[in-house]
Every structure is written in structure tokens, then in C-alpha cells.
Amino acid sequence: MTTVEQLQIEIEALPEQDFLRLRHWFAEKDWERWDEQLENDVATGKLDFLLDEAATSKAKNTLRDL
């Protein structure tokens, strides 16, 4: 049995309150990792194309409100 399978079994056995705490913790951890990845992508220039697209649209006066 893999570690993930063992974790799944243990999670299934959790009382509701503990499951809710784990779900909250997991969601927070997921957002933290997403934020770190986004910050890394910005720092390394991976998202610069978005700035270029926005600047081009602004120059062409084709920006629209969301």
C-alpha cells in the first residue's frame, strides 16, 4: 500500500470535525503553493506576455472592462 493510499484510508476514518480542519488546512496549503508559484512565475518573466498583450491592447484602444 502506498503512502497516499494509507492517507486516504486514514482521512476516511476521521471524525467530521477533524476532517473539516484537515480540509481547511489543505485548502490554505494549496493557496500558499499557488501564490508561491505565481510569485516565481512573475519573478522569472513567465507572465511578461500578459503585460505585452495589455500594452498592445491599450495602444490599440481595445481594452475592455471586466
- Rounded Cα distance, 37 and 43, in Å: 10
Q: State yes or no: pLDDT of 60 exceeds 90.
A: yes
Q: State yes or no: pLDDT of 1 exceeds 90.
A: no
How far is residue 8 from each of residues 25, 31, 56, measured CA to CA in Å?
Answer: 16, 21, 48
The cell numbers describing 41, all together, are 512565475
- The answer to whether residue 35 is domain-embedded is yes
- The answer to whether residue 37 is domain-embedded is yes
Handedness of CA 39, 44, 48, 51 (dihedral sign): positive
- The answer to whether residue 8 is domain-embedded is no
- The answer to whether residue 6 is domain-embedded is no
Expressed as residue numbers, the domain containing 50 is 15-59
The predicted model gives 50-64 an average pLDDT of: 92
CB 31 within 8 A of CB 25: no
- The answer to whether residue 4 is domain-embedded is no
> Going along the chain, which residue ranges are E strands?
none
Structural domains in the chain (count): 1
**What percent of the chain has a predicted confidence (pLDDT) above 90?**
92
